[in-house]
Amino acid sequence: MNIYDFNVLAQNGEEVSLRKFEGKVLLVVNTATKCGFTPQYDALEKMYEELKDQGFEILDFPCNQFFRQAPGTDEEINTFCTLKFNTKFTRFKKIEVKGGNADPLYKWLITQNEKGKPQSIKWNFTKFLINRKGEVVARFAPTDKPEGFANRVKEELLK
């Protein structure tokens, strides 16, 4: 199983196969617009602009599970991110990333580690680096700034 086996919902509610991103290096992020880590959108957009032509994509999944820091509709979240941070990477419908109602993608992502045991999402801006084969190759904590792992992303793009 890999990330391409999953379907997610676009902001408009249409189902999207992640197979559409096959062969690209992906960074999957659960985000929030009213979080202390929200300014990471600037660095994420910078990384996306620098690397998108090399086959890099960021998949943004807003989540309101952590102290309701992603309020508003999907459209309001998208407008905020576009106007405040000029983001151009792909943003999906708001989801849950932990608990019984967690999106199936996230239920899978949290098991992708050396122990194979679920490692739950503790906060907004947890990031998963996916290689061109659709496999999780790294996980970055909310406190890990994009500038700090940019070289790891670039290494993956060279493979």
Q: What is the DSSP letter of 63?
A: B
- Name the residue range of residue 105's domain: 3-157
pLDDT in tens, 117-152: 899 999 999 999 999 999 999 999 999 999 999 999
Q: How many domains does the chain have?
A: 1
Backbone angles phi, psi at 125, to 5 degrees: 70, 30
**Which residue of the set 8, 29, 35, 129 is catalytic?**
35
Half-sphere exposure of 40 (CA within 13 A, CB side): 27
Backbone angles phi, psi at 28, to 5 degrees: -100, 125
Reading the block at residue 109, the tokens are: 């992502």
CA pair distance 118, 100, nearest whole angstrom: 13
Q: 158: buried, middle or exposed (CB in 10 Å: 19+, 13-18, 0-12)? A: exposed
Note if the pTM is more than 0.75. yes
Q: What is the mean pLDDT of residues 40-69?
A: 97
- CATH number of the domain within which 50 lies: 3.40.30.10
Could you tell me the maximum CA-CA distance found in the chain, to the nearest angstrom? 41
Q: Mean pLDDT, the chain, as a whole number?
A: 96
81 is catalytic: no
